[in-house]
Amino acid sequence: MRLSSKGRVAVTSLVDMALYSRNSNPIKLSDIAKRQNISITFLEQIFYSLKRNGIVESRRGPMGGYTFAKNPNLVKIYDVIKAVDEKLKINNCNGFDFGCISARNKKSKCLTHNLWYEFSNHISSFLRSISIEDVKSDNFLKKNHEKMEKVNFKH
């Protein structure tokens, strides 16, 4: 799985908005750009997609900027990444007839297809369970701590 800068910047920008938004006052992209050291042009592209997908709303004028279209508790990381056209896929399968391997013009599953497919599902499920508000307050660490103990990862 590859998550590009676009997905990471989209999430970071929305967490920034959640941190600095007061009384539903709009946040200017120039403020986010300064605080997070992100190109304003890049942010404009990202926020265009976020607005088109109903994650943020814009207000024009001298007091304008962006606000959340819904409560940050309801904005899931998965939806943010999808809104900026990121693909959350680990394998190279085309998604409808496997297409892992071309053997004599026949498409079939590769040997590890099911492993990577399930791994992708776990990542998607994890990202669907975490909101912008969870990231802002580090609640996702608490939410997923119990799940991680069951898996018993060693660092």
Give CA 147 to chain center in angstroms: 21
* Residue 42 DSSP one-character state: H
> How far apart are the C-alpha atoms of 144 and 131, rounded to whole Å?
13
pLDDT score for 155: 47
Cross-strand bridge partners of residue 58: 66
Cα atoms in the 13 Å half-sphere on the side-chain side of 89: 11
Three-class secondary structure of residue 152 per DSSP: coil
Greatest alpha-carbon pair distance for the chain in Å reads 63
Which pTM value belongs to this model? 0.81
Q: Which CATH architecture has domain 5-89+131-151?
A: Orthogonal Bundle (1.10)
pLDDT digits (tens, 9 = 90+) for 47-58: 999 999 999 999
pLDDT above 80 (res 1): no
- Number of residues written out for the chain: 155
pLDDT score for 5: 87
**Where exactly are the structural domains of the chain?**
5-89+131-151
pLDDT digits (tens, 9 = 90+) for 64-89: 899 999 999 999 999 999 999 777 66
pLDDT above 70 (res 90): no
Q: Exposure string (b/e) for 110-129, b if CB count within 10 Å is 16 or more? A: eeebeebbeebeebbeebee
Give CA 83 to chain center in angstroms: 8
